[in-house]
Structures are given as structure tokens and as C-alpha cells.
Structure 1
Amino acid sequence: MRLAYLLAVAAFGLSACGSSQTPINLGGADVPAIYEARTDTGPNGESIEIPAVRAAYLNERNQRQRVPYNGPEAPGTIVVDPYARVLYHVLENGEAMRFGIAVGRAGKGFSGDGVISVKKQWPSWTPTQNMIRTEPELYAQFAGGLPGGVDNPLGSRALYLYRNGRDTYYRIHGTMDPSSIGKATSAGCIRLFNQDIMDLFDETELGTRVTVRSQAESLRFEGPLIETPEGYVIPAREQAQATAVAAAPTTQPPLVESAVPAR
């Protein structure tokens, strides 16, 4: 069962909507304090060490940061943009806390409004009947569910999105694969660094409104985006600016003739 689990996790990219070794602290002096290693309490009261996020994964768009926000949503709202691969927690005074996210196939299969109706620490995971039916070789073995813990692809926390009292099966959750943040993944919904989902979890009350942007809404608020060779997305204007700077001619200082007369 253990081997089958590892093979399945590798196949669907450590995601879930739709190694049990001790974590190693891979952080460094240049890792912000919020992304350093943490000790958490697991689902059975055990101590779980959450490793620091490697500095290499903390690019400008992946790091949590306070930014100006021009959307219409009220403070307290969570806004998910699966196309720009960011999540906003809307604040007062036209600002928001922005988080980098990884987006699986299911992350683009829903748009519109919902509410957070369930919150779980170290959540268990059960594949949907549709997942089992379409890919039984991967998911049938997990039909009874996978308990929460360091082997669970939902990570340390999960927020469950409901609409009209019904579970949408849309999840905002952690991950055991921090290298995936900022990228598209083979499956799953919306994943954050474990440190980010833990803090967002604590700040999010049941009943919190969530808006998931459509592709048209993403284009309206974020502008055109391009994917880098590394698999991240950046605003097209940044790429255009970088290209313009690289193409600009280098101005050479004028040649100054020697004041010493020729002999």
C-alpha cells in the first residue's frame, strides 16, 4: 500500500481536489521569518515538523506580500485567480494580502462565488466518484480515504468552498510539494505553501466569502500574462520591459584625446 501510494502521488503531482521521512529544514538566512520551519500538532496530537520554504521557491510572485487591490470585493473576501496563480485576502484601504498558489485542473473548473463552510487541520482526503471512475488505476485504492498527515496531499490545512449549502469540492489547501507553488499542476484545486495556508486558516472565519475569477475577469484585473520557461506566470508588460532594456543600445562615453602632444 505504501509503494502504491507513492506511485500514485507521483502520478498526480501531490495534489488532491479532484515520503513519510522527517522533513529537512532547507531554509536559509535569506528566508523570511514567516517561511521558516514550524512545529505543528498533527491529527493525532503528534508533533509534526514543517520544513522551511527554500529561498529558491520564494520569487516575487510566490511570496506573501501586501499589495494594492483594485477589485470590487469587500474586505475579508478571499479572491482566487487561477489564471494569474495568485490568491488575494482583501484588506481595508484598497489593499490585499497576496499569496502565490499552484493550480490543478480542478482549479479552473469552477468560477463565481461561494463561502467557506468547513475548515480542517491536517485534513483527510477521499477521491471523488468521478476520479475513481475515470482513473481507477490511480484512485480506486484510496476510495476509503487517506488520513491527514505528512503523506496527505492536502497538506497542513484546508478550506472547503460551498455554494448554496452544497459542497463544490473546491479546496484551498496546503501542499507537501512546495516546489509546485506558482505553477500549473496535473490535478487538484488551489494549493499554498503550508506556512501560508496555516496563517490564512487562522484568519478565515466560517462563512467567509470567496470569489473565484473566470479567465475574462483575470484578464481584466491582472492584464495579459505569459508563462516563463520555469513554469511560472508573469505579467506580459514585465517581459516587454525586460526585452526593451536588453535591446537598448549601450551608450559609450566619448573618446577623450590625450592632452600630451605627439612627438
Structure 2
Amino acid sequence: MRFRNLLTMLGLVASVGLAGCTTTSDGSKEVAETTKVEIFSGSYGKVTDAGFALPAIPIEKVNKKFHRQIVDYSTSEKPGTVVVDTRERFLYYVLPRGKAVRYGIGVGKQGFAWKGEAYIAWKQAWPTWHPPKEMAARKPDVAQYVEKGMDPGLRNPLGARAMYLFNEKGQDTLFRLHGTPEWASIGTAASSGCIRLMNQDVIDLYNRVTPGKSAKVVVQQ
């Protein structure tokens, strides 16, 4: 009788051990949740920021691949680097351990694209917009803002935040990473060369970036 009870107990132990190695429906669900991309589609509601009331973005109208998310990202660049993929319309903020925060972006129109390496020399919340003289020559209606600038606000083309790119010699490239009220332009080539993000996204990126030569930006085409 004792021998039979021992066999029964061993059988139970064996079945428990096998269950630990077998993928059950609950186990599959658990694995799926740990490997699932983390998407922040709920982060585009109304925001009151520095006295400005940013409206909610109808994010369901924006292709889901352009929603802010944390993804697997293999790169030789150090954490803290910003990599801009103008072809795919993504901006990556590199995180440790093979991850990155990915944002959807709008890029420059044909003829206004730029690629290369730079760094974020400084950043500004609710910036004043000074269009370059070249733009004013093409668009006389913005010429009034070249010197005095357009005041910060919901209609300002730089949106809620701007990050200013300088080259390795410390010269302003005149290219910016900035917000935009034109959420429908994300995923398109519509800007005058700068990289635009939805305002809620540019606030998130701004909070992650520390200006300086270590704040490397790589723009790929």
C-alpha cells in the first residue's frame, strides 16, 4: 500500500513538473503580454500646459503605427540618442536594453529634406517662431515674423515645444524637432524641412531630452 501511495505521489509531482514546461492557454496569454508592444494611444487627450489648453487629438484618425509606443529597436547608438527615419516617418528615442520610444512624425517636402548628424543644443517650451528669410521670400505672408517672431500659441507652427539642432561646429542648422497643431500631417512630407510631432508627443520627447553635445540626433533618409 505504501509503495502504491509513493507511486501516486511521484505521478502527481511529475504532472506538476510537466505542467510547468507546457504552454497552456494562460501561459500563452502571459507571454503575449510581456512581449506586446506598449502603445500609448490614450495619451492624446486635452492637456493644459503653461496656461495653454491643447485640444484632444482624434487619435483614432491617425494610423496606429504613428501612435507613441515602446518598441524593440536594435542600434549601435547610445541610449538618449534620437534617430529620425524620414522614409518610414518615425522618430526613435533610444532606450537601454534594445528598446526605443517611437513617435510618428511629419517630414520635409521634396527639396527640403535634410540628413546627417547634429545635436540638440537647446530646447524651448512654447517657443516664439522666427521663419527663415528663405521661407519669407517664398511666403510673403510670414515675412512679418522674421524679425519680431510669432508669439507662442496654439496656432504657432512650432507647437508646444521645440528642440534646436546644431552641427558639430556649434552652428545652427535651422532644423528643428517641434510640435504641430496639424496632427493630420503626421506620416506625410508636408513641412519645410523640420521634423514635426503631435504636440502631446513632442512634450513627451522634450521631457526625455537633455540638451548638449551628448544629445545626438541622427537623421536618416
Q: Would you say the 8 A contact 1:82–1:108 is kept in 2? A: no
Match of 1:204 in 2: 209
Partners of 1:66 and 1:108 lie apart in 2 by 29
Match of 2:44 in 1: 35
Partners of 2:48 and 2:102 lie apart in 1 by 24
Q: 1:190-248 CA deviation, whole Å, 9 max, x = no partner? A: 111111100110110012111111x3xxxxxxxxxxxxxxxxxxxxxxxxxxxxxxxxx
Q: Would you say the 8 A contact 1:70–1:94 is kept in 2? A: yes
1:108: how far off? Answer: 5.3
Secondary structure at the aligned position of 1:109 is classed as: coil
Secondary structure at the aligned position of 1:74 is classed as: coil
Partners of 2:111 and 2:83 lie apart in 1 by 13
Aligned residues: 178
RMSD of aligned Cα (Å): 1.9
1:170: how far off? Answer: 0.8
Letter in 2 for 1:40: D
1:136: how far off? Answer: 5.0
Secondary structure at the aligned position of 1:93 is classed as: coil
Q: 1:158 to 1:172 in 2, by over 3 A?
A: same
Q: Would you say the 8 A contact 2:73–2:100 is kept in 1? A: yes
Q: 1:128-166 CA deviation, whole Å, 9 max, x = no partner? A: 122223x15233232222111112111000010111211
State the TM-score, normalizing by the size of structure 2: 0.75
1:65 and 2:65 correspond: no
Q: Sequence identity, in percent?
A: 43
Q: Would you say the 8 A contact 2:44–2:59 is kept in 1? A: no
1:155 and 2:164 correspond: no
Partners of 1:158 and 1:107 lie apart in 2 by 22
Letter in 2 for 1:73: E
**Structure 1 unaligned blocks of 5 or more:** 1-30, 42-46, 216-263
Partners of 1:165 and 1:115 lie apart in 2 by 9
1:141 and 2:144 correspond: yes
Match of 2:132 among 128, 144, 147: 128
Secondary structure at the aligned position of 2:217 is classed as: strand
Match of 2:175 among 170, 174, 177: 170
Secondary structure at the aligned position of 1:83 is classed as: coil
Secondary structure at the aligned position of 1:174 is classed as: strand
Partners of 1:68 and 1:90 lie apart in 2 by 10
State the TM-score, normalizing by the size of structure 1: 0.63
Partners of 1:40 and 1:51 lie apart in 2 by 11
Match of 2:85 among 81, 84, 105: 81
Q: 1:50-82 CA deviation, whole Å, 9 max, x = no partner? A: 111103333222101111112221111000111
Secondary structure at the aligned position of 2:202 is classed as: helix
Q: Would you say the 8 A contact 1:87–1:101 is kept in 2? A: yes
Partners of 2:116 and 2:152 lie apart in 1 by 29
**Structure 2 unaligned blocks of 5 or more:** 1-39
Letter in 1 for 2:192: A
Q: Would you say the 8 A contact 2:133–2:143 is kept in 1? A: no
Match of 1:115 in 2: 119
Partners of 2:139 and 2:97 lie apart in 1 by 49
